[in-house]
Structure 1
Amino acid sequence: MSVPLGKAVRAASRLRGGGSAFPGLVVERIDPGFMARALRNLPRGVVVVSGTNGKTTTTKMVVELLQGQGLKVFTNRTGSNFTRGVAAALLGEVDWRGRLDADVAVLELDEAHAVHFVNLVPPTHCLLLNVLRDQLDRFGEIDKTTRLLEQIARKTTGTVVLNREDPRVASIASAIPRTAITYFGLDESLRGTFPSDDELRGATGTAPASDLPADVVLETVDGNTASFTMDGETSTVNLSLRGVYNIFNAAAALAMARVIMGGDVRRAPLLASLAAVEPAFGRGESLVVDGQPLELVLVKNPSGFRLGLKSFDAAGYATMIAINDNYADGRDMSWLWDVDFDSLKDGGVDMVSGVRAYDMALRLKYDDVPARAVDTDTGPALRTFIRSAQGRPKRIFCTYTAMLAIRRDLSRITDVKVVS
Structure 2
Amino acid sequence: MFPFSVLVGKAVRRISRLRGGGSALPGLVVEKIDPGFMGRALTGLPHGVVVISGTNGKTTTTKMVVELLQGQGLTVFTNRTGSNFTRGVAAALLGDVNWRGRLKADIAVLELDEAHAVHFVKLVPPTHCLLLNVLRDQLDRFGEIDQTTRLLERIAAKTTGTVVLNREDPRVAGIASTVPAANIAYFGLDSSLRSTFPNDDELRGDIGVPPPSSLPADVILEHVDGNSASFLVDGELTSVDLRLRGVYNIFNAAAALATARAVLGDAVNRPALFASLATVEPAFGRGESLVVDGTPLELVLVKNPSGFRLGLKSFDATGYATMIAINDNYADGRDMSWLWDVDFDSLGLAGVDMVSGVRAYDMALRLKYDDVDVRAVETDTTAALKAFISATHGQPKRIFCTYTAMLAVRRDLSKITTVEVVS
Residues 83-103 of structure 1: per-residue CA shift (max 9 Å, x gap): 000000000000111110000
Structure 2 Cα separation of the partners of residues 205 and 89 of structure 1: 44
Aligned to 1:320: 323
Structure 2 Cα separation of the partners of residues 383 and 53 of structure 1: 30
Read off the aligned partner of 1:185 and give its amino acid letter: G
Aligned to 1:12: 15
**Is structure 2 residue 44 aligned with structure 1 residue 41?**
yes
Structure 2 Cα separation of the partners of residues 240 and 204 of structure 1: 37
Read off the aligned partner of 2:293 and give its amino acid letter: D
Root-mean-square deviation (Å): 0.7
Structure 2 Cα separation of the partners of residues 273 and 293 of structure 1: 25
Structure 2 Cα separation of the partners of residues 102 and 207 of structure 1: 42
Contact 1:302–1:335 (8 Å) recurs in 2: yes
Residues 90-129 of structure 1: per-residue CA shift (max 9 Å, x gap): 0000011111000000000000000000011000000000
Structure 2 Cα separation of the partners of residues 393 and 90 of structure 1: 39
Which of the numbers 129, 138, 145 marks the counterpart of 1:135?
A: 138
Structure 2 Cα separation of the partners of residues 40 and 206 of structure 1: 41
Matches of residues 302-313 of structure 1 in structure 2 within 5 Å? 302-313=305-316
Read off the aligned partner of 1:83 and give its amino acid letter: T
Read off the aligned partner of 2:193 and give its amino acid letter: L
Gaps of 5+ in 1: none
Structure 1 Cα separation of the partners of residues 215 and 414 of structure 2: 46
C-alpha displacement of 1:209: 5.4
The secondary structure found in structure 2 opposite 1:328 is: helix
Read off the aligned partner of 1:228 and give its amino acid letter: F
C-alpha displacement of 1:364: 0.2
**Is structure 2 residue 389 aligned with structure 1 residue 386?**
yes
Read off the aligned partner of 1:399 and give its amino acid letter: T
Matches of residues 200-239 of structure 1 in structure 2 within 5 Å? 200-207=203-210, 210-239=213-242
Read off the aligned partner of 1:177 and give its amino acid letter: P
Structure 2 Cα separation of the partners of residues 50 and 208 of structure 1: 24
Return closer, same or farther for 1:342/1:242 CA change in 2, 3 Å cut-off: same
Read off the aligned partner of 1:111 and give its amino acid letter: E
C-alpha displacement of 1:257: 0.2
C-alpha displacement of 1:208: 5.2
C-alpha displacement of 1:205: 2.1
Contact 1:166–1:208 (8 Å) recurs in 2: no
The secondary structure found in structure 1 opposite 2:408 is: helix
Which of the numbers 191, 195, 200 marks the counterpart of 2:198?
A: 195
Contact 1:160–1:179 (8 Å) recurs in 2: no
Residues 40-76 of structure 1: per-residue CA shift (max 9 Å, x gap): 0100000000000000000000000000000000000
Return closer, same or farther for 1:281/1:208 CA change in 2, 3 Å cut-off: farther
Contact 1:45–1:104 (8 Å) recurs in 2: yes
Contact 1:167–1:208 (8 Å) recurs in 2: no
Structure 1 Cα separation of the partners of residues 116 and 194 of structure 2: 30
Residues 235-285 of structure 1: per-residue CA shift (max 9 Å, x gap): 000000000000000000000000101111000010000000000000000
Structure 2 Cα separation of the partners of residues 291 and 386 of structure 1: 12
Gaps of 5+ in 2: none
Structure 2 Cα separation of the partners of residues 52 and 131 of structure 1: 5
**Is structure 2 residue 88 aligned with structure 1 residue 85?**
yes
The secondary structure found in structure 1 opposite 2:303 is: coil
Structure 2 Cα separation of the partners of residues 390 and 40 of structure 1: 53
Which of the numbers 258, 269, 278 marks the counterpart of 1:255?
A: 258
Contact 1:165–1:208 (8 Å) recurs in 2: no
Aligned to 2:53: 50
Read off the aligned partner of 2:148 and give its amino acid letter: T
C-alpha displacement of 1:133: 0.2
Structure 1 Cα separation of the partners of residues 194 and 289 of structure 2: 28
Aligned to 2:117: 114
Q: What is the number of residues matched between the two proteins? A: 420
**Is structure 2 residue 252 aligned with structure 1 residue 246?**
no
Structure 2 Cα separation of the partners of residues 124 and 168 of structure 1: 22
Return closer, same or farther for 1:306/1:162 CA change in 2, 3 Å cut-off: same
Read off the aligned partner of 2:16 and give its amino acid letter: S
Which of the numbers 84, 101, 106 marks the counterpart of 1:103?
A: 106
Structure 1 Cα separation of the partners of residues 30 and 70 of structure 2: 28
Aligned to 1:414: 417
**Is structure 2 residue 204 aligned with structure 1 residue 174?**
no
The secondary structure found in structure 1 opposite 2:417 is: coil
C-alpha displacement of 1:178: 5.7
C-alpha displacement of 1:175: 1.3
The secondary structure found in structure 1 opposite 2:184 is: strand
Read off the aligned partner of 2:126 and give its amino acid letter: P
Structure 2 Cα separation of the partners of residues 111 and 179 of structure 1: 24
Structure 2 Cα separation of the partners of residues 178 and 61 of structure 1: 26
Which of the numbers 140, 144, 149 marks the counterpart of 2:152?
A: 149
Which of the numbers 395, 400, 403 marks the counterpart of 1:397?
A: 400
Q: How many percent of aligned residue pairs carry the same amino acid?
A: 81
Structure 1 Cα separation of the partners of residues 212 and 73 of structure 2: 34
Provide the TM-score with structure 2 as the length reference.
0.99
C-alpha displacement of 1:176: 1.4
The secondary structure found in structure 2 opposite 1:192 is: helix
Structure 1 runs, 4 residues or longer, greater than 3 Å off:
none
Which of the numbers 91, 94, 99 marks the counterpart of 2:97?
A: 94
Structure 2 Cα separation of the partners of residues 137 and 329 of structure 1: 10
Read off the aligned partner of 1:193 and give its amino acid letter: T
Read off the aligned partner of 1:43 and give its amino acid letter: P
Structure 1 Cα separation of the partners of residues 50 and 329 of structure 2: 29
Read off the aligned partner of 2:378 and give its amino acid letter: D
The secondary structure found in structure 2 opposite 1:191 is: helix
